[in-house]
Amino acid sequence: MKPIQSIWRWQTTIFLLPCLCFVGCSKKSEQADQDDVDTVLSDAAKGDQQKPAQPDQHKPVSVAEANKFQQSEFASRVQKLTGQANAAEAKFDFKTALEHWDEVYKIVSKRFGEKAWQTTNVRLAIKTARQQSKFDNSQRRVLQTISQLQQKTATALRTKDNNEAYQSCHQASQLTKSLFGSQSYLYARMQNQLAHIAALNRQPELALSFYEAALSILKAEMGNIHPEVESTTFSIGQTYQRMGNAKKSISYLADSVNQSRQVWGELHLIYATRTHDLGVAYHQTKNYEQALKFLNISRQIRMKQLGNDHPQLAHNLRNLGVVYQDQMLYTKSTMYYDAACKIFMSRLGPENPFTMDCQTKLAVVLTMLKEYPKSEAILTQLAETQKKLWPNNPIYAQTLFRLATVQSYQAKYKQAEPLFKQALTIQTKELGDRHSETQKTIDLYATLLTRTGRESQAKQLRAGVRTAGNFEDEKQFQPRFKK
C-alpha cells in the first residue's frame, strides 16, 4: 500500500503561531465604543449566562508578547516537530508520530496551559494518531478512499459543481463516521463542510442542521472557547440571518463575538468581522444603538490594523452611513458614505459594484439634504460608468431616473426629459409596464410634463400607472419639483 498524506494532520503551527497576532486591548475613541461590551452581549443573548473563563484557559496576550513567542526557540521547535509528526503519519509510522506529538504537547501545554485551545489541538492530534495506529489494512484503505473523496469534493467546488461536491463529501462523511465515530471532531468537520455546500446550494435549513450537529460535537471535544467552535457558531448566526430569524441570528452572532474575543483578542481582524456582522444584524432589527456600537468597534479595529484606505474599512463606513440614513440623520450619513466612496473608488475603481452602490447611496442622501448639484454630479458620473457596463440594464435605468429627478428638482427640465424617456424605454422592455420602477418613472415624468404645460400628455402617461404612490424608493425623492 502506498503511503498517503495524512488527511487528519493538524498543522498545529497554523493554530499556534498566527493566532497570536493582533491581540490585546484596543483604545476606543468614540463615546459609542466606551460602554462595556460584556453588558451589550448579555443583552443580546436575551438572558443567557456566559460561562466564566476557566483560570487555565487561553487568554489573548499583547502583540509584543505574540511576536516574542513567534521568534522564540520554542516556536521553531513546535514547527519542526509538527512537520516531523505529519511526515511520520503520512507513512503510517504512528509510533514516531506520537513521539513527536508528545514533545509538541509538552511545549504547548507549558506555554499556554492545559486547558488552552492550542493544547486541546495537540491533545486531539495525539488521540487521532493513537486511533490510526490501531487500524488494520482495510481501515487504512478506507482512509485512502476518504482522502480521494475529499480531493474530489475540492475539485467539484472549484468547478462549482455543488451537487457533485455534496455527494462526494457525504460519502467521505459516512466513512469518517465509520472509522472514528459519530462524536468525533473529524466527523464534525465533515458536517461543517456539508453545511457549507448546502449553503452554496441555497438550502439554509439543511445547512443549519449540519452546522448544529457539528457544533454539539465540537463543544464536547474542544470546549466552548475554540476557533472551530467560534466559527461554527458564527456560521449558524449567519444562516439564521439568511432565513430571516433575527432573534436567533443575534443570539448566535453575539456568542460568536464573545468567543472570538476570548480566542483572538480585541484587536484581531476576525473579532472585527464578528462585531461588524453583529452590528449589521442589529440594524436589520432596527436596533440602531447596538448597530452603531458594534459597527464602530469593528471600524476602530480595521482602521488600526489595515489603515485608513482599506476596502474592509470602507464597508464599515458604508454600513454606518446606512444606519444613520435610516434614522434620517442625513448629514452624518453623508459623511460616512463620502468617506467610503473615496476608498472604494481609489482601491477598487469606478466599475466595482461596491463603488457604484456607495455612490448611489451618497447621491440619495444628498438629494434628501437638497444638495442637488452634488447629487447630480455623482449620478452623472455613475450613469456614464453604468452605460459602458450595462446599457440596457434596469440598474442603469434606475440611475437615469434618479439623475432626471434631481435635475427636475432644479428645474432643468430639458436635460431631465430625455433621461426619463431613456429610463422608461429600458424599464418597459426589461421589467414591463406594470413594474413598480416603471410606474415610478411614468409618475415623475408625468409631473415634469405637467410642470412644462403639457397636461394632456401627463394624463395619458398617468393612465398607465396602475397604483399611485407607495413606491419602494419614493421616500428618497420626497422634495417636489421646482415650480
Domain ranges of the chain: 1-24+60-134, 379-483
pTM confidence score: 0.80
- Write the single-letter amino acid at 273: T
Q: For residues 210-231, b (16+ Cβ closer than 10 Å) or e, as one string?
A: bbebbbebbbebbbbbbbbbbb
Mean pLDDT of the chain, nearest integer: 84
Beta strands in 132-263 (DSSP E): none
C-alpha cell at 423: 429610463
For residue 391, give every residue at least 6 positions away whose Cβ sits within 8 Å of its Cβ, in sequence order, or none: none
80-113 pLDDT per residue, tens: 999 999 999 888 899 999 999 999 999 999 988 9
228-269 pLDDT per residue, tens: 999 999 999 999 999 999 999 999 999 999 999 999 999 999
Residue 314 to residue 295: CA distance in whole angstroms: 12
53 phi and psi angles, rounded to 5 deg: -65, 140
Residue 177: closest CA among 186, 164, 168: 186
C-alpha cell at 89: 503519519
Query: For residues 325 and 365, is the Cβ–Cβ distance under 8 A?
Result: yes
408-432 pLDDT per residue, tens: 999 999 999 999 999 999 999 999 9
Query: For residues 118 and 225, is the Cβ–Cβ distance under 8 A?
Result: no
Q: What is the pLDDT of residue 464?
A: 65
User: Over 80: is that where the pLDDT of 392 sits?
Assistant: yes
121-143 pLDDT per residue, tens: 999 999 999 999 999 999 999 99
184 Rama sector, left if φ>0, alpha if ψ -120 to 50, beta otherwise: beta
C-alpha cell at 365: 442622501
* CATH T-level assignment (fold) for domain 379-483: 1.25.40
